[in-house]
Structure 1
């Protein structure tokens, strides 16, 4: 019979192997943004730091990408993205994206942070307190709140 220590160590080893495999397989995130937008570049940098493999598509206009993705016009911000079949619009925090990818709620096409709230990833403004804002789930009507944040932290 195996000892508790052997069972614990084998379980820990399996967990470490699983984590290493996931770390080597960064999720591909496609982004469409305007070259002149500095906050979009900040969001791209944030997502790279959080482990996403970002394909940064700099475009003269993001409108064609939004039409292709099916982004609702009432949720627009400054850049659009796609990851694992989901659409992102605006400065979506990494935590909201990870929750979406982990839970895969039915009926959701994507999530958005409309406008450009202060304190969102890429919109950090020194000396200005972060806004409280909603990450909106869309894909059916009505849109609904998926998560609420203050800056990059859940509110």
Structure 2
């Protein structure tokens, strides 16, 4: 089921990320978010400004989607992006998403736990470097510090 959901999410559209190869190699992403969540909309807009092709879908059943995508409960945030066969959870900076897609690492996805101030879509100033976590069969590990 997850494979089918991810195939729908990353279909034939293109992801416009500088340095990510040819247009035919670039997947599109779909952000699933709670209806009315403005911080999610802010994150989507920040990612689009950075060149990501991102569609936003409001959903009242995010828990099931997150479970199917393999997002550990302790890393779950307010929205999930399915892109390039991966799940991106929460307000992950675009550089980490670009790195994930470019490296084609064998992880289920990456997450920025919490909703830290200064992250894309969140107000306020960045108080400390963000620890972006990877998750999958290898467990949970630090993917990037930004």
Q: What is the aligned-residue RMSD (CA, Å)?
A: 2.1
Name the residue aligned to 2:128.
Answer: 131
Corresponding residue SS for 1:51: coil
Higher helix share: 1
TM-score (norm 2): 0.78
Is the Cα–Cα contact under 8 Å of residues 69 and 108 in structure 2 kept in the other structure? no
How many pairs were matched up?
127
Distance 1:25 1:53, change over 3 A: farther
Name the residue aligned to 2:116.
Answer: 117
Q: Which has the higher contact order (CA 8 A, sep 6+)?
A: 2
Distance 1:25 1:105, change over 3 A: closer
TM-score (norm 1): 0.73
Q: Which runs of 5+ in 1 are unaligned?
A: 1-18, 150-155
Q: Which runs of 5+ in 2 are unaligned?
A: 1-18
Corresponding residue SS for 1:132: coil
